[in-house]
Structures are given as C-alpha cells and as structure tokens.
Amino acid sequence: MGGGYSKGRIVLVLGEPGTGKTIFCSQFLHGGAVTKGEKGIFIGMNEPKAKFLGEMKALGMDLAALEKEGKFSYVDASDVKHIPDQAKVGRIPVGGRELGLVNLLDTIQEAVDKVKPDRIAVDSISDLIFRYPALEERRPVILDLVETLEATGATCLMTSELLSTGQDRTLQPEEYLAEGVVLLKMLRKGIRTIQVLKMRGSKMDAKPRPYVIRDNGIEVLSGEEVYE
C-alpha cells in the first residue's frame, strides 16, 4: 500500500472511527520514502508529534529516522481546531472559520515551499469542515483545500470522517471533490474492509476487501472477498 498512487493525485481516505486512517497516511509516506526515496509531509491535527511518532514506530515505521534523513516532516496543524469563531485581523473582525481555513492553507504552503515534498498527508480535514454545517459553505472550503494541494504537484492523501455507518448513506461532498476515494469501514462482525470507490485515471478493483492492523501496519487481504 505504500506505492501505486498516480503522481499528483488528491486521494480522500474516508473512514469510520478505529479504521486506521492515520496508519494509512503513515504507510503512504513511509512507503514512498523507503521504496522510492520520496519526501513526505504529514499535516497533523489530532495528536502531538511525539505521540504520533511513538505509535507509528510501534507499527514498524521509524518516521523519526526518516526525518533525520530529510525524508519526512511533521507539521503541527492542531491550531485549526482551536481558533475561536471570532477573531481580529488588525482592527477588522474576522470570522474564526475563515481564519481557520486560511491558516491551514498557509501552513501547508509554507511547509511545501520549505520541503518540496513528493507526498503530503492531511489528517484530518474534519476538524476544518465541521465548522461549516451548511453544504453550500462546506463545498467551497473543501474545494479551496483540494486546489491548494493540487497546486503543490505532490501526491496527496487527506482523511475525513464518515458521518454514518451502514451500506446506504448520504454521500459527502469531499467524495466528489477528491480525485480518488478510499473507504474504510467496520462491518457488524468486527471485520474492517477497504474499498477503492474512485480513482480517476486508474483502472481499479472496486471490491471491498478485508484488512487487518498487524504489528507492521495495515495488511489488505486482497485475495478475500467480504460482503454483508
């Protein structure tokens, strides 16, 4: 799972709680660095850097070592979650929400200018987009983010939270705005499945496949089929 992405694509990883979205991002960056020598940035909103590195190391990915080699950077974007809804830029009151978006885009741009990455992972966009409850507001925010990522030329993953369990569900706008969509679900029986819903410009296997999280990360059981 570390290779095989089309260069310059923006892929959404949409998953339920506990399906390993963060591990998925790490394998994408770690795999790219180890197998292709590609530089990666992790834009993290959920955990402090030390905790993140520790957890990934426990899964066999030594990102700290890659960081020393200049192959990996961790960018802390947890501010996005905490910016108040009302702020001031000079004397002008500015909605915290817009500031949240602008901040994140600036943070990404800065890191990109400095590192010139081949791969970027944003984990997760939910903290940003949940600020915009109305669909007509949420859609352009996602679009701005997607286009900023696209302009970097890097291959990008962004994770997002699934709004409901079950097979029949409301489609989320980020599924339409990303160029690829990977869906991570937890079936009733406790089996996790991965399904590539969309991958523009690639032929793909769209069957849901079971996977397990092992000592060395996510392993897809690609020969097996699983339906509910």
- By CB under 8 A, residue 86 contacts a copy of itself: no
d(CA 175, CA 157): 13
- By CB under 8 A, residue 139 contacts a copy of itself: yes
The residue type at 93? P
d(CA 59, CA 111): 26
- Among 37, 70, 140, 153, indicate the residue that binds a copy of itself (CB under 8 A): 140
CB of 26 to a copy of itself, least distance (A): 13
- Among 49, 64, 67, 207, indicate the residue that binds a copy of itself (CB under 8 A): 207
CB 125 within 8 A of CB 138: no
Please give the DSSP secondary-structure letter assigned to residue 85.
S
- Among 39, 71, 119, 192, indicate the residue that binds a copy of itself (CB under 8 A): 192
CB of 93 to a copy of itself, least distance (A): 17
Measured between alpha carbons, how far apart are the two ends of the chain, in Å?
24
d(CA 181, CA 43): 19
CB 106 within 8 A of CB 138: no
d(CA 96, CA 24): 30
- By CB under 8 A, residue 132 contacts a copy of itself: yes
- By CB under 8 A, residue 227 contacts a copy of itself: yes
For a copy of itself (CB under 8 A), the number of binding residues is 59
Of 60 and 70, which CB lies nearer to a copy of itself in the complex structure?
60
Comparing CA positions, the residue from 112, 78, 110, 83 lying closest to residue 98 is 83
CB of 70 to a copy of itself, least distance (A): 27
Comparing CA positions, the residue from 93, 104, 116 lying closest to residue 141 is 104
Matching residue, tokens 């020393």: 68
- Among 34, 49, 55, 62, indicate the residue that binds a copy of itself (CB under 8 A): 55
- By CB under 8 A, residue 201 contacts a copy of itself: yes
| Residues contributing to the site for a copy of itself (CB under 8 A) | 16-18, 54-55, 58, 81-82, 126-127, 130-136, 139-140, 143, 161-171, 173, 175-176, 181, 186, 188-192, 195-201, 203, 205-208, 213-215, 225, 227-228
